Amino acid sequence: MKNLLYAFSLLFVFASCEKEDDEPNNNSSGPDTPIAIQLESIVMTGFEPTDSSGDYWDSSTNPGDPYVEVFKSGALVYTSYQAQNPDHNATYPLNDAASGALPILYTEGESMTIHLQDLDSGTAYDFMGSIVIDDAMSFFYNGDEAEEFINVPVSTSNGYVDLELSGTILY
């Protein structure tokens, strides 16, 4: 009886051990190389209240109602609601979607473009500037095996709008 109990115990131990995968790991990137990044948050931290000719974006005293359009490799994937009559020196999250949704996943080689617009009326808008990042994953991953990027400052090419971008690095 004692031997039978011992045999069942050994059988139980062997049966409960996890079978190791006999196939080689085909992930050539290894565990320390990211496979993608996710853009999760867009915060406007300031903008110029006037355009290049010195005119307010909306009226003689209104600095504008900015919103963002985010593109992934040229395709529009997200549009935020506009910040209504914001103070141009204040901070405004632009994370509420009018269309699309955050987070947005970018893999190696995919470009990120962010257009800043000011909605005037109906479908009319003023272009406030853009940010173009040729390879979003390489831009946000700096080799330190971090799990996230937080409040990375970026500015439009014309210097009119400042943003902070945050997200996750996926391995």
CA distance readout (Å), 10 to 18, 19, 21, 119, 130? 15, 16, 22, 72, 66
- Residue 19 pLDDT greater than 50, yes or no: no
Neighbours of 82 (CB within 10 A): 20
- Dump pLDDT digits (tens) for 73-87: 999 999 999 888 888
Tokens 């307010």, located at residue: 56
Question: Rounded to a whole number, what is the distance in angstroms from the first to the last CA of the chain?
Answer: 51
Provide DSSP, 143-156. Answer: SS--SEEEEEEEE-
CA distance readout (Å), 138 to 12, 27, 95, 149? 48, 19, 23, 12
Dist. CA 65–CA 26, nearest whole Å: 49
pLDDT > 70 fraction of the chain, expressed in percent and rounded:
78
User: How would residue 21 be classed by pLDDT, with cut points 50, 70 and 90?
Assistant: very low
Dist. CA 153–CA 166, nearest whole Å: 9
Q: Please give the average per-residue pLDDT across 114-142, as a whole number.
A: 88
| Nearest residue to 115 via CA among 88, 77, 169 | 77
| Nearest residue to 47 via CA among 139, 158, 167 | 158
